Structure 1
Amino acid sequence: MSETTTQTYRVGVTDDDDVILHWAAITDTGHRRDNNQDAYLAEFPLFVVADGMGGHAGGEIASQSTIARLQEIVDGGTVATATIEKALELAVADIASHPDTTDEGTGTTLTGVFFDAAMDEPRWVSLNIGDSRVYLLRDERLVQVTTDHSVVQELISSGRLSPEEADGHPYSNVITRAVGASELTPPDYLGIEVLDGDRFVICSDGLTKELTDYGIQHFLREESDPAKAVDAMLAAALENGGRDNVTLIIVKVERTGGAVSADDAETAKISTIDESSSTPE
């Protein structure tokens, strides 16, 4: 099994309020792929997953080029929506000019969160292009924060397809936005309050192909430690087939004081799990 990376980071908000972040990340080729076209970056304040696509080495080029450009803005200490979009523009140019990019379909998804301390009250900002996902476990309920940019999601949103029909749909792998397209569309963003006890799961679809949302929620509840949780989810995804590369990051939030209460939080709940309707898988 691939090696899990872990880290803890403390952010001072006020004299009596710190945010302590614990995170773990892992990526695995899976059972059916010859190479790993996923890449990730888990370094404060940015936590993102990129799932590459394209023939030959195209997917690896796209995901790694994107992560490399984002690493530059982390190293420069200027992670914000404007710098992220500039980095993505540079990544698109890198992908297009790479000598091994031969497939016009070369590109990558990108999803994740970054910690934004530029305002008086810190917040998370999620970002998304494609069908990799960010989930949030808050008050023991799992929420899908991001909305997939995919043909299937468009059909669901228009009422022409039910969520239950989506998994087996012939266009289930067709995405409508990617980094690497000739004209970059900026990510979708969502601001999220920083609450004590929150846990984020950032993952490629190699995880969600093998684990339902209920399964993800189950492992988060079973394992409060991010490292143990990522290991358990990866093991389950591989046991369930491992049909694709699998990459995931879990970020756990502790806040020592001055936190917004869960009752006051206004995070958009795009797809909340109804626990009474199913059991974990």
Structure 2
Amino acid sequence: MKCIGMSKIGLVRKRNEDRFCIEGPFCIVTDGMGGYKGGEIASTLAIDSIAEALRKLETPSEEALQHAVSEANRMVYERVFTEPELKGMGTTAVVAYEQCHTLYWANVGDSRLYLFDDDGLVQISTDHSMVQSLYEAGTLSSDEMLTHPQRNILTRAVGVGANVEVDCGHLSVESGNRILLCSDGLTGYIPQDTIEAMFNEQSDDERLLEDLMALVYDAGAKDNVTIVVGTIE
């Protein structure tokens, strides 16, 4: 799996609380929250912890990724006990690890993983957010999710409690399949069908990354945005 990523602060925020890591067979995106410095500390702690755990893996599995994210949760949560002013900080986390044409994944929060193949762009992860809960309850449409005033409220995040439930899974992938990991700075403002159209139009991952980032800025870049795209080799 060959991946490329980019993270930008946007046009409104004063600091970038997003982080990403691409290393060999895995990639990670985190998006921090929690006031002054808290968000960037949480996202950095989490991504460093997850990456360290994945580097040690000989055989990936759902359980291994789930454990890595759970350990990151513990580290972020315990940091608050040494620095009480950071209380309430947390972060999203989405992880993908490919080996032998199997893609293992895990996520907490609303940073997303997508697969692009012959069936188009398919969201693999599920958001842990207020608007996702409303959508699943049938009280909100997919279009309304992009403009709802509570769209930034998470129902699950890394580091806000002693324990966290981590979604995980795996799926078969083929050479030429492409993946997208991103923070909600992309998906919170750009509809999925628009993103899918850009995947169809642009086969070069580097140019696709630049085009997606330009799309966000054309839309006002109201949030930090982190995008990782890659192709299964």
TM over 0.5: yes
Match 1:115 to one of 98, 116, 140: 98
Match 2:150 to one of 141, 146, 171: 171
1:86 to partner: Cα distance: 4.9
Q: Give CA-to-partner distance per residue, 1:84-117, whole Å, 9 cap, x none.
A: 1453244324532453x62432100011311245
Match 1:56 to one of 36, 47, 69: 36
Greater share of residues in helix: 2
Match 1:146 to one of 125, 146, 152: 125
1:170 to partner: Cα distance: 1.9
Paired residue secondary structure (1:102) = helix
Aligned residue for 1:5? none
Aligned residue for 1:228? 207
Q: How does 1:147-162 map to 2 (within 5 A)?
A: 147-162=126-141
Q: Distance in 1 between matches of 2:185 and 2:24?
A: 24
Q: Does 1:218 align with 2:179?
A: no
Q: Give CA-to-partner distance per residue, 1:16-38, whole Å, 9 cap, x none.
A: xxxxx221100000111110000
Would you say the 8 A contact 2:30–2:93 is kept in 1? yes
Unaligned stretches of 5+ in structure 2? none
Q: Does 1:181 align with 2:160?
A: yes
Identity across matched positions, percent:
34
Greater C-alpha Rg: 1
Q: How does 1:41-120 map to 2 (within 5 A)?
A: 41-78=21-58, 80-81=64-65, 83-93=67-77, 95-97=79-81, 99=83, 102-116=85-99
1:231 to partner: Cα distance: 1.1
Aligned residue for 2:229? 250
Task: Tell me the amino acid that sits aligned with residue 55 of structure 2.
Answer: D
Q: Alignment RMSD, CA only?
A: 1.9
The number of aligned residues is: 229
Would you say the 8 A contact 2:30–2:91 is kept in 1? yes
- Structure 1 window deviating more from structure 2 (71-80 vs 33-42): it is 71-80
Task: Tell me the amino acid that sits aligned with residue 79 of structure 2.
Answer: I
1:243 to partner: Cα distance: 0.5
- Structure 1 window deviating more from structure 2 (101-110 vs 78-87): it is 78-87
Task: Tell me the amino acid that sits aligned with residue 37 of structure 1.
Answer: E
Using a 3 Å threshold, how does the CA distance of structure 1 residues 210 and 157 change in structure 2: closer, same or farther? closer
Match 1:198 to one of 148, 169, 177: 177
Would you say the 8 A contact 2:66–2:106 is kept in 1? no
Using a 3 Å threshold, how does the CA distance of structure 1 residues 82 and 157 change in structure 2: closer, same or farther? closer
Using a 3 Å threshold, how does the CA distance of structure 1 residues 162 and 31 change in structure 2: closer, same or farther? same
Q: Distance in 2 between matches of 1:232 and 1:127?
A: 27
Using a 3 Å threshold, how does the CA distance of structure 1 residues 140 and 160 change in structure 2: closer, same or farther? closer
Q: Distance in 2 between matches of 1:44 and 1:87?
A: 21
Q: Distance in 1 between matches of 2:219 and 2:16?
A: 18
Q: Distance in 2 between matches of 1:104 and 1:213?
A: 34
What is the TM-score of this pair, normalised by structure 2? 0.90
Paired residue secondary structure (2:85) = coil
Q: Distance in 1 between matches of 2:75 and 2:209?
A: 28
Would you say the 8 A contact 2:22–2:28 is kept in 1? yes
Unaligned stretches of 5+ in structure 1? 1-20, 255-281
Using a 3 Å threshold, how does the CA distance of structure 1 residues 48 and 244 change in structure 2: closer, same or farther? same
Q: Distance in 2 between matches of 1:162 and 1:105?
A: 30
Paired residue secondary structure (1:214) = helix
Q: Distance in 2 between matches of 1:69 and 1:171?
A: 30
Would you say the 8 A contact 2:66–2:168 is kept in 1? no
